[in-house]
Chains A and B, each alone.
Chain A
């Protein structure tokens, strides 16, 4: 019990004094996860929107596939990306394994399906509602898509936040492809796992605190956005 209180005390101290190791780990975490969100929005948003409005044979199968990919276990994603990036793999020549780039790739693979699936649902709903009016206007396809994305902007922002929340909190993918190398690929979740097993509970707790604050802020932001959207009836 003494240990426990002691660890908490030390953890708060680490956070309060902005311990350089801690800050480095937090910053790398944010860098990796934000980059992954950026990339998955770049890929997943147009992809999801396209599936949402297009009608083609096999569409339902594609939707089922994307929806199931949402639930991919992070370690499995890590393993697949590891295989692709390892020396024997197709992208081995890029020598990316155990680098932040590999971690960004793994998280991008992990959350792109989430962004695509949620975007698909949002855009499809709008399409069901707007399609006949747009047909009446003879609206060109690209303008219709732009209108969907614009009118769904609040909901799409929350999709990005959901992706970020998942990326920053996962440990399986980054530990497999990043290797949790000190000062190079150590992020919050992998550091927590390691420090806990080493018995350095203070650093683990400090990182856990930061992670929780980030998760809470993301959720608070989502709630606020929902609120704004419904208040202004733009949602």
Chain B
């Protein structure tokens, strides 16, 4: 199978009727590892992820993975942890089985248990997924995304409701994925977390990309004023 990298985003724009929500976004990601997308609320980070994953069609420009647009063939090799995970009206285990049944896996039960164990949800396997707490739901969403065995994993603020221990778990999962060669595209508002995980950073502000830089450069000397203010904790509007 063709490599999904590089990811090339060209002149990407997205508008709903007359409202332009993303415009002229250009960047390229060549290396595996973790790309962090940062930016203030409403900057367009979630929209960008959905465009990259092919859930939305661009109004202008293009997204390509190894030269191919994110159609079914590409999307099948990717997984998305949405900002607000959509859990099926079923038990935790049934939510896992639903994904696992799409793949050819010999020991489905074992795989499911191992993944639930990994995120600390094995004791909750029989519970209705929608009765889980916010943080537990995010952990289930992670386990479920991992069950897809993705080559690219999008994570939209995966730790937004997590306690420190669960955040550490998620971060260690991200590191494992990185070592296994999985590409991770992560949205976070947590600069410390971004620093710990990121190889490179894409910064969005009001629907435009103000900079793309290696993590080191971005956190030492952000080149855009918006990013500087955002990192300093100033209100960026």
Contact = CB atoms under 8 A, between A and B. Distances in A.
Interface string A127-167: 00110110111110000000100010000000000000000
A235 B86 contact: no
A50 to B, nearest CB: 21
A232 B55 CA distance: 31
A234 B128 contact: yes
Interface stretch (B75-83, B176-184, B217-225): B75-83
A16 interface: no
Nearest to B88: A151
Nearest to B72: A138
B53 A233 contact: no
Nearest to B71: A138
Given A138-B75, A138-B76, A147-B88, A133 B128 contact: no
Contact of A233 (B75, B82, B99, B130): B130
B131 interface: yes
Interface size for chain B: under 10, 10 to 19, 20 to 34, or 35 or more residues?
A: 20 to 34
A224 B128 CA distance: 19
A147 B102 CA distance: 13
Given A132-B55, A136-B55, A137-B148, A233 B89 contact: yes
A130 B88 contact: yes
Contact of B90 (A132, A136, A234): A234
Contacts of A151: 88-90
Given A132-B55, A135-B55, A234 B89 contact: yes
A173 B80 CA distance: 53
Interface in A193-235: 232-235
B141 to A, nearest CB: 10
A133 to B, nearest CB: 4
B55 to A, nearest CB: 6
A147 B101 CA distance: 13
A contact patch SS: helix
A151 to B, nearest CB: 4
**Majority SS of interface residues in chain B?**
mixed
Contact of B102 (A129, A133, A137): A137
A232 B128 contact: yes
A133 B89 contact: no
Contacts of B102: 137, 139
B207 to A, nearest CB: 20
A235 B102 CA distance: 24
Contacts of B50: 132
B79 A136 contact: yes
Contacts of A130: 86, 88
A233 B133 CA distance: 13
A175 B79 CA distance: 58
B96 to A, nearest CB: 13
A132 B89 contact: no
A214 B147 CA distance: 48
Nearest to B128: A233
A135 B56 CA distance: 10
Given A138-B72, A232-B128, A132 B82 contact: yes
Contacts of B129: 233
Contacts of B99: 137
A130 B75 CA distance: 17
Given A133-B82, A135-B55, A137-B99, A233 B88 contact: no
B82 A235 contact: no
Contacts of B78: 136
Top-3 shortest CB links A-B:
A233-B128, A233-B130, A151-B89
Interface of B: 50, 53, 55, 72, 75-76, 78-80, 82, 86, 88-90, 98-99, 102, 128-131, 148
Interface of A: 129-130, 132-133, 135-139, 147, 151, 232-235
11 contacts: A130-B88, A132-B50, A132-B86, A135-B55, A136-B55, A136-B75, A136-B79, A136-B80, A139-B102, A232-B131, A233-B129
